[in-house]
C-alpha cells in the first residue's frame, strides 16, 4: 500500500523547495501537493517534479472543507505538512482578511479534518504546522527567541500565524492530537516571490530600479537558506516529539541595509558593470512599515541538542547561490511577474475544476 503525505502550499517558495528536497532523496512516500495557486503559488516552480510518480498535484483550497474530507478519504494520509498561508507582512497591512481566512480558518479546517481522520484510527501519525518567528514579536538589541518566549505578534500576518499556532497547540493538549510546530526565521533562496526583500532587491538592482529601504534600514532579521529550513522540517517531521515546538534559525543576523549593500556589490560583480557606478546609488530610504518589528533572532539550541540539526550553508555562500539563481532564471521571474504562469495553468489543468480530484 502506498504511503501518502499531504503537503499544503507546496507550489509556494518554501513548499516547492521542500518537495524538490524530498524527491531528490531516497524517499519512499508519495506526496500530494494541495495548493490553491494564489499569486504566490506557481506550478512552474515544480515543473521538473511533474514527471515523478511520487508527486501528485491537486488544485484546491484549504478553505474547502469538503475537498479536504474527500482527499483524506481517498488518500488515507499518514501525515500532513502544512505550508499553505498568506505570507507577506506588507500585504497583511493593506488587506488582512485573506490572512484571517487562509491562516486561521484554513488551518482550522485542515487541523480538524486531520484530527477526525486520526481519531478514526486511519494510521495518521503526524501533523506538522509550519510557522514563523514573527509570532514572538520584536526583540531589542540583545537576546533571542526561545520556544518559551511569550507570543506578541505585531502585524495582521503574524497575529494570524500566532492564532493558527494556538489552535494546533490546543488540539495537542485537548485531544492528544500528534502535532508539531516549527517556528522559523526569514528564509531566502530560489523560487521566492519577488515581493520579499532579497529577490526584490536582486531584480531591482539588475533592472536599475530604485531600491526601497524601509526607515533607516537598521531593522535586523535572522536569515536561513531555504534548503536548511527544508532539512530542519524533515528532521522534525520524522523525529520530533508530539506536542512540541522547535525554533529554526540560521544564526545569520544582518541589518537590512547590510543585505542591500551585499546584494548591490554581488550583482554589480556578476553583471561586470563597467561604468564604475555602484548600484548602491539606487538605494532610497522610504517610509517605514507600520508596526515594523526591530529585530528577530532565533535560539535554535533545542533543535540542535535534541534532534542534532544544524544549518549546512554559510550565509555568504548561499546568498551568492541565490543571486546566481535569479540571474539564471529570468524566465521563471518573468512568468511569475507577468501572469503568464496563469496561462500555463489553464493549458495544463484546463479540464479540471478547482477542487476536482
| Catalytic residue IDs | 133-134, 157
Cell triple for residue 21?
528536497
Sheet holding 55-59, edge to edge: 55-59, 30-35, 4-8, 79-82, 126-132, 179-184, 245-248
Nearest alpha-carbon partner for 18 in 35, 31, 28 = 31
Secondary structure tally for the chain: helices H, strands E: 13, 12
d(CA 341, CA 11): 12
**Which positions from 288 to 327 touch ligand TDX by CB under 6 A, shown as an x/- string?**
-x--------------------------------------
Strand ranges for the chain from DSSP E: 4-8, 30-35, 55-59, 79-82, 126-132, 179-184, 186-188, 211-214, 220-225, 245-248, 253-255, 283-286
Out of 23, 63, 206, 257, point to the residue binding ligand NAD (CB under 6 A): 63
Of all residues in this chain, which one has the CB nearest to ligand NAD in the complex? Answer: 12
| Site pattern 38..57 for ligand NAD (x: CB under 6 A) | x-xx----------------
- Out of ligand NAD, ligand TDX, none, what residue 40 binds, judged by CB under 5 to 8 A for its kind, is ligand NAD
> Would you count residue 154 as binding ligand TDX (CB under 6 A)?
no
Using only C-alpha atoms, the chain has a radius of gyration, in whole angstroms, of 20
> What single string gives the DSSP state of each residue in 51-94?
T-TTEEEEE--TT-HHHHHHHHHHH--SEEEE--S---HHHHHH
**Interface with ligand NAD, residue 228, by CB under 6 A:** no
Q: Does residue 200 belong to the site contacting ligand TDX (CB under 6 A)?
A: yes
88 is a site residue for ligand TDX (CB under 6 A): yes
Are 81 and 7 a contacting pair, CB within 8 Å?
yes
Number of residues that bind ligand NAD (CB under 6 A): 30
Q: What part of residues 111-130 is at the interface with ligand NAD (CB under 6 A)?
A: 130
Determine, following the binding rule CB under 6 A, whether residue 319 of this chain makes contact with ligand NAD.
no
Stretch that binds ligand NAD, among 77-85, 212-220, 260-268, 297-305 (CB under 6 A): 77-85
Residues at the contact surface with ligand NAD, assessed by CB under 6 A: 8-9, 11-15, 35-38, 40-41, 61-63, 83-87, 102, 106, 130, 132, 161, 184, 186-187, 193
Residues at the contact surface with ligand TDX, assessed by CB under 6 A: 87-89, 132, 134, 186, 196-197, 200, 212-214, 219, 221, 256, 289
Amino acid at each position: 500500500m502506498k504511503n501518502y503525505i499531504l503537503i499544503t502550499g507546496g507550489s509556494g517558495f518554501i513548499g516547492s523547495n521542500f518537495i524538490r528536497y524530498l524527491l531528490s532523496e531516497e524517499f519512499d512516500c508519495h506526496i500530494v501537493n494541495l495548493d490553491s495557486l494564489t499569486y504566490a503559488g506557481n506550478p512552474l516552480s515544480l515543473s521538473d517534479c511533474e514527471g515523478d510518480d511520487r508527486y501528485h498535484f491537486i488544485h484546491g483550497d484549504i478553505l474547502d472543507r469538503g475537498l479536504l474530507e474527500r482527499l483524506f478519504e481517498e488518500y488515507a494520509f499518514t501525515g500532513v505538512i502544512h505550508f499553505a498561508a498568506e505570507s507577506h507582512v506588507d500585504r497583511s497591512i493593506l488587506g488582512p482578511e485573506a490572512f484571517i481566512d487562509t491562516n486561521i480558518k484554513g488551518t482550522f479546517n485542515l487541523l480538524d479534518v486531520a484530527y477526525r481522520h486520526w481519531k478514526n484510527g486511519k494510521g495518521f501519525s503526524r501533523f506538522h504546522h509550519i510557522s514563523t518567528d514573527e509570532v514572538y514579536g520584536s526583540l531589542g538589541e540583545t537576546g533571542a527567541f526561545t520556544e518559551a518566549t511569550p507570543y506578541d505578534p505585531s502585524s495582521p500576518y503574524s497575529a494570524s500565524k500566532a492564532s493558527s499556532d494556538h489552535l494546533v497547540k490546543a488540539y495537542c493538549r485537548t485531544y492528544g492530537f500528534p502535532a508539531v510546530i516549527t517556528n522559523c526565521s526569514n528564509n531566502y533562496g530560489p523560487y521566492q516571490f519577488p515581493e520579499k526583500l532579497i529577490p526584490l532587491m536582486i531584480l531591482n538592482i539588475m533592472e536599475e530600479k530604485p531600491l526601497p529601504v524601509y526607515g533607516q534600514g537598521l531593522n535586523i532579521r535572522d536569515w536561513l537558506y531555504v534548503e536548511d529550513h527544508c532539512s530542519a522540517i524533515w528532521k522534525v517531521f520524522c523525529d520530533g516529539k508530539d506536542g512540541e515546538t522547535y525554533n529554526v534559525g540560521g544564526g545569520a543576523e544582518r541589518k537590512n541595509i547590510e543585505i542591500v549593500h551585499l546584494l548591490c556589490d554581488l550583482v554589480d560583480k556578476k553583471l561586470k558593470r563597467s561604468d564604475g557606478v555602484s548600484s548602491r546609488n539606487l538605494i532610497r530610504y522610504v517610509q517605514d512599515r507600520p508596526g515594523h518589528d526591530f529585530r528577530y533572532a532565533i535560539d535554535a539550541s533545542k533543535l540542535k541538542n535534541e534532534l542534532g540539526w544544524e544549518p549546512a550553508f554559510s550565509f555568504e555562500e548561499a546568498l551568492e547561490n541565490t543571486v546566481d539563481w535569479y540571474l539564471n532564471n529570468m524566465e521563471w521571474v518573468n512568468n511569475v511577474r507577468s501572469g503568464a504562469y496563469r496561462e500555463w495553468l489553464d493549458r495544463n489543468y484546463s479540464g479540471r475544476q478547482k477542487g476536482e480530484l
